[in-house]
Structure 1
Amino acid sequence: MDLTVVAYVVYLLISIGLTIWVARTLSTNGRIFLADVLRGDEKLADAVNHLLVVGFYLVNFGFVALYLKAADAVEDARGLFEALSVKLGVVLLVLGVLHLGNVFILNKMRRRGIMEKEQIPPVPPQGWATPATPAL
């Protein structure tokens, strides 16, 4: 079997496995963070979490598919490992950048929600008090 084809198969298996593992980990552990960002709305947090996972899969699987083609044919075992290390390294970097981008955006939303919450008075105004007249 051609080593380039072996490189493709190994690359796809590892990349797809990594993408699924990262998506499940982020989905499971990110749910609590999303619920906090969305002010405790569990249903909305679950829906947003699911949409983020679907988007994560689409972007990553699309990138993995586009990045499949090797520039040069793989001639030996050394070339196989070098090609795989470059391809998998780039996939891992893309996964990390997407994760950090999501966390950054969600953290901004969370901070905005906290600031808005702090601006609401704890007790609504009870009415107006008339100013006292100065005593002579």
Structure 2
Amino acid sequence: MNWTVGAYVAYLLIAVPITVWVASTLSHNGRVFLADVFDSNEQLADAINRLLVVGFYLLNLGFVMLYLRGGGAVADLTGLFETLSVKIGIVMLVLGVIHFVNVMVFSSMRRRGRADARRAQIPPTMNQPYASPYPPQPQR
């Protein structure tokens, strides 16, 4: 076995468990957030959570597999560590970016839902431009 094959094996032994750990952590802790986004509809939150986990695995493990060959040949132990640090660092950055995008999307959905709920609570006269929320004052 040469150094390049060793780098491949070490990369997969590190990148796949990191991906699994991040997915399980996000799934477990994101459930409460999703329940809030979907107005305490637990079934919908659980279904979306499972779909997000499947998509997360497909996207990230696909990236890990495609990125396996990146980096070229490894000549020695130093090269192995340098290659691993770059590859794992990039995988972690990709995981972070994907998480950030998911949080941004669901935060915007949450804000929009709350704004819609607030608009639904305002009396119809308040939605009219220049309508006063106070009763008319008697004329003197």
Same fold, judged at TM 0.5 (above): yes
Give the Cα–Cα distance (whole angstroms) in 2 for the partners of residues 70 and 39 of structure 1: 44
Aligned to 2:74: 74
TM-score, scaled to structure 2: 0.85
Aligned to 2:91: 91
Question: Comparing both structures, which one devotes a greater share of its residues to helix?
Answer: 2
TM-score, scaled to structure 1: 0.88
Q: Deviations over 1:28-76 (max 9, x none)?
A: 0000000000011000000000000000000001000100004321111
* Residues 66-75 or 5-14, more deviating: 66-75
Aligned to 1:103: 103
State the SS of the aligned residue for 1:39. Answer: coil
Aligned to 1:37: 37
Q: Which stretches of structure 1, 4 residues or longer, exceed 3 Å deviation after superposition?
A: none
Q: Deviations over 1:67-119 (max 9, x none)?
A: 00043211111000000001000000000000000000000000001001111
Aligned to 2:21: 21
Where structure 1 has 5 or more consecutive residues not aligned to the other structure, the ranges are 125-133
Aligned to 1:114: 114
User: Is the contact between residue 71 and residue 83 of structure 2 (CA under 8 Å) also seen in structure 1?
Assistant: no
Q: CA deviation at 1:121?
A: 2.2
What is the percent sequence identity of the aligned residues? Answer: 59
Where structure 2 has 5 or more consecutive residues not aligned to the other structure, the ranges are 125-137
**RMSD (CA atoms):** 1.9
